[in-house]
Structure 1
Amino acid sequence: MAVPITALYAGLLAILLTIISAIAGIMRGRKKISVGDGGDMELLVAMRRHANAVEYVPLALILIGILELNGANSTFLHVLGAVLVISRIAHAYGLKPDGIGDPFRGIGAGGTALMIVVAAGYAIWTAVGTM
């Protein structure tokens, strides 16, 4: 069975992750730090932008894929996917060394968490309903 909605958001988020990774890699080269952050806060933040996305994006995409395979409404799936993409961009933009109160970071983290909880809740609800 095809999962075109999941494919769309997986593709968009793969591009975002590649860009975030490239930024960290270029920064490593510029600062001549091969492994770790070398005590450099700017590099640490770039690494955390990438790592945080890697920690959350796979789970979110798995949930979208499960819901799509189970026949969830396509508009609902697009809303979940759009919230995830916008949230991950906002989080990457808002994650700064001195930006603990940056609204984009909060929007990104909160949007990602909300999307995952809604998708997980719907997955559980649909699973229980078919048992």
Structure 2
Amino acid sequence: MVTPIYAAILAFVYLFLAKRVISYRREYRVGLSDGGHLLLKKAIRAHSNFSEYVPFTLLLVLLVELQQPSFTAGLHILGALLVVGRLLHAYGVSQEVEPLKFRVYGMVLTGSVMIVAALWCFFLAIT
């Protein structure tokens, strides 16, 4: 199985992003929302965006793997691109002065993985 490797890697990224939110909450003494602190707001969005895209995309990759387990090279490519995309996006969103290119590249990679996996799932399901 290939997908569990990337699920594990992404779980560690998720935990890192969560820890960053918790650290800012402690630093700024904010229990809910962002308290008007820009870095906390950005950390929350990086964590939330990760939570919004990763589970569904991983599910699509897993469904591809379950239908075509022998195509490990393609699955590794999808997994690696998802990890890189999520790291780029999280980095870009988290900066006080956002370098937009990291966020854009991150979303392009993430969206591409989602589209390819969805189309691949669909094609495998109808053939």
Asked if Structure 1 and Structure 2 have the same fold, meaning a TM-score greater than 0.5 normalized by the shorter chain, the answer is yes
**Aligned twin of 1:24:** 21
Structure 2, unmatched stretches of 5+, are none
**Aligned twin of 1:81:** 79
**Aligned twin of 1:7:** 4
Please, what TM-score do these two structures have when normalized by structure 1? 0.91
Output aligned runs, 1:1-131, within 5 Å: 4-72=1-69, 73-95=71-93, 96-99=95-98, 102-129=100-127
CA RMSD, 1 decimal: 1.1
The aligned length equals 125
Structure 1, unmatched stretches of 5+, are none
**Which one-letter code corresponds to 2:11 in the other structure?**
A
What's the % identity of the aligned pairs?
A: 34
Counterpart CA distance in 1 for 2:2 and 2:18 is 24
User: Deviation above 3 Å: which 4+ runs of structure 1?
Assistant: none
Deviations 1:41-80 (A, max 9, x none): 1111000000000000001110111011101511000000
Please, what TM-score do these two structures have when normalized by structure 2? 0.94
What is the Cα deviation at residue 98 of structure 1?
Answer: 3.7
